[in-house]
Chain A
């Protein structure tokens, strides 16, 4: 829940280049033994020491939850990001010792579902790799629709087709294939739960289409981890700690708070879970709210900030931390 959370020491067992953008990493527990059992949809926070900068990035667990001998994640390289994915791609090699947090699930299956309909875009496939394995083992009914820009970038398409046959449907953008979403949603039996993970435009498209077609909110589930965006350098006053800190352009506010030695709560580090919500005591300027936790009214009021993804531009910002 915060910096006090137990860490799991792991060793990188394998690094695989899946395609030009994606690398896959397999971790085993350092010193041997099993890793904690997890549920499909869980993520772990991977801790990186990037030349003295501590980075903590969340990645979905994609391995079979029934196999706790190792954990597997996939990392898509983001050349414009703050540097976490670049660190993973360039610095992490087999045999390296790292630390991860315990699995946390902010995108769980609704086990009441009579059928589970999953829609993935690009790297958003990773949580569904674990979910499909879990559902298949329990004999549950599921269907996966997976879209990627090109065949080369459609990581795991072959694996999924081999394993699940006609329960998996693939769509390649550059071959002009697209999901017939309205048709798909109109064909689902009562009791179907819909899950979507992928880039923001896809998420918005699926969620708004489902809503327009009358799907109940409780039957529609989505996950979008935002990478904390880069931006301009800014200063923040931490009222409780009585410190003024500088947040660098390639650093998140949360990372800067941690670097100053101040304890701050977090869980997902992707703007989704609400754990890092912090009161704004004074704001003379503009808060860039990048999360999807705060309501529109809360964002407009300027009294709260999610330190993991949101930034500031202006004269003076004071937060209760």
Chain B
């Protein structure tokens, strides 16, 4: 694909973000059945069908350049969105290597990586970057290794150090988050940063998830979905900027909800890193407008049922309880009560 594949759009001010019909078709709809509750829903992060968001290790889609521009603006206004404690530099190099090797392998028209010993040259054609540097030598890059590569990669990233039978969130690049703060969470252990999640603790979800992740193996990444709701296509819904996006929840109407309400899906994956023994946690956010989503009849029926029946505590935690009735009212127009097929793949009718 040529470079004209990438759209120029905004996630702020005039909100020109849209999904093309192809982007809608490949959207990672997170509900495999007509209801939702927390579970340890992890599966191997292996290559999926051609064209799907799982086709490659790190999906690059039509929003790439616009998302990277938005990230640069967030960092300009608040540099603390990217932090790395001193012992995490090696993990940053591990991440840089993983992303560069994956992208150069999976998207050879857009990315190239050339190595002569530790002398590496990285070419990112969409962003018009060519950088020669010395691997494992921080002074040869304009930013630390994690910041350097995640300024060129869609999705948020955290790096978890593993020690004392726990995972510690000791580094991250977080500008497209669903209302959580790296600056607040940095240095926390696994149960601490998950503390606000309702019900899951009592279900033992986090104990089991941590036990599983501590044994995560090299070369065997896993993935899971998470989801929430966002009014207007804003990537940066952070606690730090709540006054900018929070009040918009109070401005939805039946007339504008189809256009302004977005389902926000996070494709999260976990990768053991080779040199640092840390775990990389990419959190890739995908946005879709309700009016885009309902073009897939199966998804429309199912989202209606999930939103209608989800536990109020989850709707509160995910921040959409106040608009739940309005969402159900809008979505019910597209639910004729017919059964839906298992799995989340769309079925155009």
By a beta-carbon cutoff of 8 Å, the part of chain A in contact with chain B is 1, 5-6, 36-39, 41-42, 65, 102-105, 108-112, 134, 137-138, 217-218, 267, 273, 275
Q: In the assembled complex, which residues on chain B have CB atoms less than 8 Å from the CB atom of A109?
A: 277
Is there contact, CB below 8 Å, between B164 and A218?
Answer: yes
Is there contact, CB below 8 Å, between B217 and A5?
Answer: yes
CB of B162 within 8 A of chain A?
Answer: yes
Q: In the assembled complex, which residues on chain B have CB atoms less than 8 Å from the CB atom of A65?
A: 275
Q: In the assembled complex, which residues on chain B have CB atoms less than 8 Å from the CB atom of A138?
A: 90, 136
Is there contact, CB below 8 Å, between B220 and A36?
Answer: no
Which B residue sits closest to A218, measured CB to CB? B164
Known: A39-B277, A105-B277. A111 touches B218 (CB 8 A): no
Tell me how far the C-beta of B97 lies from the nearest C-beta in chain A, rounded to whole angstroms.
8
5 A-B pairs besides A1-B215, A134-B275, A217-B164 with CB distance below 8 A are A42-B277, A108-B163, A108-B277, A137-B136, A218-B163
- Interface residues on chain B, number (Cβ under 8 Å): 18
Contact of B218 among A38, A110, A137 (CB under 8 A): A38
Known: A5-B217, A267-B215. A39 touches B275 (CB 8 A): yes
Is there contact, CB below 8 Å, between B277 and A1?
Answer: no
Which B residue sits closest to A111, measured CB to CB? B87
Q: What total of A-B pairs shows CB separation below 8 Å?
A: 56
Is there contact, CB below 8 Å, between A111 and B220?
Answer: no
CB of B276 within 8 A of chain A?
Answer: yes
CB of B274 within 8 A of chain A?
Answer: yes
Is there contact, CB below 8 Å, between A1 and B217?
Answer: yes
Contact of A5 among B86, B90, B220, B275 (CB under 8 A): B220
CB of B161 within 8 A of chain A?
Answer: yes
Task: Tell which of B86, B88, B163, B277 has the most Cβ of chain A within 10 Å.
Answer: B277
CB of B196 within 8 A of chain A?
Answer: no
Is there contact, CB below 8 Å, between A102 and B90?
Answer: no
A103-B219 Cα distance, complex, nearest whole Å: 9
A41-B164 Cα distance, complex, nearest whole Å: 15
Is there contact, CB below 8 Å, between A36 and B215?
Answer: no
0/1 interface trace, chain B 160-173, chain A, CB 8 Å (1 if under): 01111000000000
5 contacts between A and B (CB under 8 A): A36-B274, A108-B162, A111-B276, A138-B136, A275-B215
Which A residue sits closest to B164, measured CB to CB? A218
Is there contact, CB below 8 Å, between A39 and B163?
Answer: no
B210-247 interface (Cβ within 8 A of A): 215, 217-220
A36-B218 Cα distance, complex, nearest whole Å: 8
B190-224 interface (Cβ within 8 A of A): 215, 217-220
Q: Chain B: interface secondary structure?
A: loop
A1-B219 Cα distance, complex, nearest whole Å: 12
9 nearest CB pairs, A to B: A37-B274, A111-B87, A108-B277, A112-B87, A39-B277, A105-B277, A102-B218, A218-B164, A39-B275
Is there contact, CB below 8 Å, between B163 and A104?
Answer: no
Q: In the assembled complex, which residues on chain A have CB atoms less than 8 Å from the CB atom of B219?
A: 6, 36, 102
Tell me how far the C-beta of A34 lies from the nearest C-beta in chain B, rounded to whole angstroms.
11
Tell me how far the C-beta of A191 lies from the nearest C-beta in chain B, rounded to whole angstroms.
11
0/1 interface trace, chain B 274-295, chain A, CB 8 Å (1 if under): 1111000000000000000000
A138-B137 Cα distance, complex, nearest whole Å: 9
A138-B88 Cα distance, complex, nearest whole Å: 13
Q: In the assembled complex, which residues on chain B have CB atoms less than 8 Å from the CB atom of A217?
A: 164
A65-B162 Cα distance, complex, nearest whole Å: 19
Which B residue sits closest to A134, measured CB to CB? B275
Contact of A102 among B162, B164, B217 (CB under 8 A): B217
Which A residue sits closest to B88, measured CB to CB? A111
Known: A36-B274, A218-B163. A104 touches B87 (CB 8 A): no
A89-B217 Cα distance, complex, nearest whole Å: 29
Q: In the assembled complex, which residues on chain B have CB atoms less than 8 Å from the CB atom of A105?
A: 277
Is there contact, CB below 8 Å, between B215 and A37?
Answer: no
Is there contact, CB below 8 Å, between B274 and A39?
Answer: yes
B120-151 interface (Cβ within 8 A of A): 136
Tell me how far the C-beta of B134 lies from the nearest C-beta in chain A, rounded to whole angstroms.
13
Tell me how far the C-beta of A116 lies from the nearest C-beta in chain B, rounded to whole angstroms.
12
A1-B215 Cα distance, complex, nearest whole Å: 7
Q: In the assembled complex, which residues on chain A have CB atoms less than 8 Å from the CB atom of B215?
A: 1, 267, 273, 275
A100-B18 Cα distance, complex, nearest whole Å: 48
Q: In the assembled complex, which residues on chain A have CB atoms less than 8 Å from the CB atom of B276?
A: 39, 111
Q: In the assembled complex, which residues on chain A have CB atoms less than 8 Å from the CB atom of B275?
A: 37-39, 65, 134
Which B residue sits closest to A37, measured CB to CB? B274
Q: In the assembled complex, which residues on chain A have CB atoms less than 8 Å from the CB atom of B220?
A: 1, 5-6, 102
Q: In the assembled complex, which residues on chain A have CB atoms less than 8 Å from the CB atom of B161?
A: 111-112
Which A residue sits closest to B44, measured CB to CB? A4
Q: In the assembled complex, which residues on chain A have CB atoms less than 8 Å from the CB atom of B87?
A: 110-112
A217-B274 Cα distance, complex, nearest whole Å: 25
Tell me how far the C-beta of B222 lies from the nearest C-beta in chain A, rounded to whole angstroms.
10
Is there contact, CB below 8 Å, between B90 and A104?
Answer: no
B90-133 interface (Cβ within 8 A of A): 90
Q: In the assembled complex, which residues on chain B have CB atoms less than 8 Å from the CB atom of A41?
A: 277
Which B residue sits closest to A110, measured CB to CB? B163
Q: In the assembled complex, which residues on chain B have CB atoms less than 8 Å from the CB atom of A134?
A: 275
Tell me how far the C-beta of B172 lies from the nearest C-beta in chain A, rounded to whole angstroms.
16
A112-B163 Cα distance, complex, nearest whole Å: 10
B75-91 interface (Cβ within 8 A of A): 86-88, 90
Q: In the assembled complex, which residues on chain A have CB atoms less than 8 Å from the CB atom of B162?
A: 108
Tell me how far the C-beta of A111 lies from the nearest C-beta in chain B, rounded to whole angstroms.
4
A273-B163 Cα distance, complex, nearest whole Å: 14
B295-343 interface (Cβ within 8 A of A): none
Which A residue sits closest to B94, measured CB to CB? A37
Q: In the assembled complex, which residues on chain B have CB atoms less than 8 Å from the CB atom of A218?
A: 163-164
